[in-house]
């Protein structure tokens, strides 16, 4: 384990964040409950002991502990950023005709659509994410993929790549996603080119990141769409409220209500074991631990975020009693 603060060459221990992260990592490192994701064969191979926590502030400070350089596939956390790209490509009014913003209370891979509108319920579940991915502009599959990789670069500050073995594994086992795509095709929510849309969806989920990347991406959302390290604009600030609102109400699947109640900040999880959380105007949080609970959320990640919220007073309604 190592602990450091960088970006402006701060010494270890120069921030209260450093000791908090060190303490939380030590506290939960021994937690061995849960299992790694097994429905995607490549994800079943991951080391369950990997564990890292990172905070990136909106003024460019980074605090890290654990296996923060370990690469893993971003999985469903990608849904947040692809939703933002779809909003930039088409505007919120059009995107709302294809994808709603209501929580489902169902599992992330449930094959369901809204009975009245026939839209996917929200862009944070698989159905909605496939629909938003299908909206990404580009002249053919290669250009669309390159646009998504460029989007990731703006948020992270470095080039990223798709893990081909994970992509192939997801592509060969993604039968529920194909069923969902065909259901949406039936109601006109996506176009005829289902396989191209699904390939792009599997590729966006198979991009390799580390815990530091997650924190910087979250901090970019906290910083009105501007990467606090590179100072590059990643997404138009006018869509930040759309992204964070859906993260807050839908980002943690069928745990979203309890998350909002206990932890109280916008967040998104993925079956990779990653969680991002956004404290608007202040910081982004990234946690990585592959051991998942029954809902597909990182067990250690949820506990770390709950403790951070309590210790640092991060809940959005923490000051409600002083109104």
CATH code for position 117: 3.40.710.10
Do 153 and 212 have their domain in common?
no
From the DSSP assignment, how many helices (H) and strands (E) are in the chain?
12, 8
Give the pLDDT confidence score for residue 253 in this predicted structure: 84
Judgement on whether residues 82 and 163 belong to the same structural domain of the protein: yes
Last residue in a domain, options 205, 235, 263: 205
Q: Please indicate, yes or no, whether residues 184 and 231 belong to a single structural domain of this protein.
A: no
- Would the annotation count 245 as a binding residue? no
Low-confidence ranges of the chain (pLDDT < 70): 1-15, 109, 192, 319-323
- Active-site residue, 206 included: no
Active-site entry in 271, 278, 302, 304: 271
Is residue 253 part of the annotated active site? The answer reads: yes
Number of domains in the chain: 2
Task: Clarify whether residues 233 and 248 are in a common domain.
Answer: yes
Q: Where do runs of H (alpha helix) occur along the chain? A: 16-28, 78-90, 92-98, 126-134, 141-156, 164-173, 175-186, 194-205, 211-222, 240-250, 256-262, 299-312
Q: Is 271 annotated as a binding residue?
A: yes
Catalytic residue list contains 248: no
Residue 320 lies in a domain: no
| Structural domain ending residue among the three candidates 143, 178, 205 | 205
Task: Supply the range of the domain harboring residue 25.
Answer: 3-75+208-314
Residue of 52, 253, 279, 287 marked active site? 253
Would you state the pLDDT for residue 4? 39
* CA angle (316 as vertex; 230, 218 as ends), nearest 5: 25
Q: Which of 201, 209, 226, 289 is catalytic?
A: 201
Is 248 annotated to bind a ligand? Reply is no
Q: pLDDT for 36-85, tens place per residue?
A: 988 888 888 999 999 999 999 999 999 999 999 999 999 999 999 999 99
201 marked as part of a ligand binding site: yes
Taking the CA atoms of 149, 72, 127 and 250 in sequence, report the sign of the dihedral they define.
negative
Q: Is 15 exposed, middle or buried (0-12, 13-18, 19+ CB in 10 A)?
A: middle
The answer to whether 29 is a known catalytic residue is: no
**83 marked among binding-site residues:** no
């Amino acid at each position: 384990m190592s602990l450091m603060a960088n970006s402006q060459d701060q010494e270890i221990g120069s921030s209260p964040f450093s000791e908090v992260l060190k303490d939380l990592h030590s506290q939960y490192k021994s937690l061995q409950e849960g299992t790694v994701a097994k429905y995607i064969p490549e994800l079943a191979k991951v080391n369950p002991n990997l564990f890292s926590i990172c905070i990136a502030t909106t003024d460019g400070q980074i605090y890290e502990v654990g296996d923060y350089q370990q690469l893993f596939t971003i999985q469903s956390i990608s849904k947040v950023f692809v939703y933002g790209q779809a909003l930039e490509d088409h505007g919120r009014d059009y995107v709302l005709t294809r994808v709603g913003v209501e929580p489902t209370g169902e599992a992330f891979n449930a094959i369901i659509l809204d009975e009245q509108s026939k839209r996917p319920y929200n862009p944070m579940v698989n159905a909605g994410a496939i629909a938003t991915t299908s909206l990404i502009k580009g002249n053919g599959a290669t250009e669309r993929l390159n646009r998504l990789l460029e989007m990731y670069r703006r948020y992270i500050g470095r080039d990223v790549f798709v893990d081909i073995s994970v992509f192939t594994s997801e592509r060969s086992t993604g039968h529920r996603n194909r069923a969902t795509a065909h259901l949406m095709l039936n109601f006109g929510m996506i176009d005829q080119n289902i396989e191209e849309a699904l390939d792009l969806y599997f590729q966006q989920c198979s991009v390799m990141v580390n815990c530091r990347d997650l924190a910087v991406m979250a901090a970019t959302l906290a910083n009105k769409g501007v990467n606090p390290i590179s100072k590059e604009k990643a997404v138009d600030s006018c869509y930040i409220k759309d992204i964070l609102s859906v993260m807050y109400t839908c980002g943690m699947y069928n745990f979203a209500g309890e998350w909002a109640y206990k932890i109280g900040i916008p967040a998104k999880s993925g079956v990779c074991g990653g969680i991002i959380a956004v404290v608007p105007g202040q910081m982004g949080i990234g946690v990585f631990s592959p051991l998942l609970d029954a809902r597909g959320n990182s067990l250690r990640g949820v506990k770390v975020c709950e403790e951070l919220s309590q210790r640092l007073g991060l809940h959005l309604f923490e000051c409600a009693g002083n109104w």
